[in-house]
Every structure is written in structure tokens, then in C-alpha cells.
Amino acid sequence: MAITLNKRNIRALSVTLLLLLLVLFVTQNARNVSVTVDDRQVLEGVPLVNYANVEDPVSVAAVKPKIGTDRSGQAPEPAGVFSPAVEYDSILSRSPVVIFSKSYCPYSAKLKKLLAAGFKFTPAYTVVELDEHEHGPELQKYIAEKTGRSTVPNLIVNGVSHGGCDDIVALSENGKLLDRLNEWGGSAVNVIQV
């Protein structure tokens, strides 16, 4: 059977070939599905760093498939993508007492000095300098959502924010800080006055 190549047959073959290429392309790239999040288009499976216009990496977590969850119920992030929820949980797991601070903040310095000079914590507390943390602004935004406190310092005991410098200094001046620290820490932490 001979096929004559006239304009009509060539056009039909060209269209067929283009359709086959399109089908092949779509099937090869089916994993990179476009999803709209907060009026931004994000591709699943592509690292966040490829998106200069994506400001909030937490938004990307909302479109990831739920394989399992961390303690906060957030979907796990692929390697190389920062998750404030995972980082926050990791920090809280280091010690029952955590101070979120900024190295240049005079209020943070005052709180750290008060606690270091006047009290001994067992286990020792953890200080996180948000201005020195690689993802400090993102982490601080998440901490504000979780604790209701967007400023530093932020004293967290057993996962609960108990205030900033003014709150803790007031308790110290009233002679109530040691009792409160032990009350907040429960059996997870022992605090003695030095």
C-alpha cells in the first residue's frame, strides 16, 4: 500500500505527530501539577528556592501531599525546604525552657542577664537568637502565630509563652519569679535561685 504525500496527508501527519508529542510531554510532567495558593501559582515537587516571588514558605506546605505529620500536624517538608513548624518543634525539644531573643535587643539582654545571674536551671535553658538564625524572620512569624507574642524576648516554658522582659522582671521584683518558673516547669525542669 503506497501513501501519497500531498499537502493534506502531510498536514494530517504533522497534527498527529504534534498531538503525540503533547501527550508524551504531559505524561512525563504529570507530577509537576500547578496549584494556586493565596493567588500565587506553585508547582508541587519543585523546591521553594526556585520561586523568587513566593514570600511565605508555609503556604507551600499546604499543597504538599500529607504523607505523615510532625507534632504540630504540619506535613513534612522535602529536604532543603525550611519549615518553621518543624524548626519550632525541634527547638522546643531541646529544653523545656526556651528564650527567643535577638542579640542586639536590650530587653532580650536584660532578661538573659536576669536569668543567668539569678537562677540555675536543670536542664539548662536554650536561647535562640532570631537575628542570627538562617530563617529568623520566618521563624519569628510562626512563633507569633503559635504563642500570640510577636516581640522578643519571648520566654517559653513547656511550650507555653510566659511573656517578655517586662513580665519576667515584674515577677522578679515581686519575689514571685522562682515560684512561677518552677510552677510553669512542673516536673520537666528544676529552678533554684543562686
Task: Sketch the domain layout of the chain as residue ranges.
Answer: 85-193
Q: Point out the residues of the chain with pLDDT beneath 70.
A: 1-5, 20-79
* DSSP-derived pairing of the beta strands 34-37 and 119-122: unpaired
pLDDT at 8: 74
Question: Nearest 5°: phi and psi at 128?
Answer: -115, 115
Q: What is the pLDDT of residue 46?
A: 35
**Whole-prediction pTM value?**
0.60
The per-residue pLDDT for 54 is 30
What confidence score (pLDDT) does residue 4 get? 65
pLDDT at 61: 29
Interacting residues of 191 by C-beta distance below 8 A, sequence separation 6+: 119, 120, 121, 122, 178, 181, 182, 185
Question: What top-level class would CATH report for the domain 85-193?
Answer: alpha beta
Q: What is the pLDDT of residue 101?
A: 97
pLDDT at 48: 33
What's the pLDDT at 16?
Answer: 76
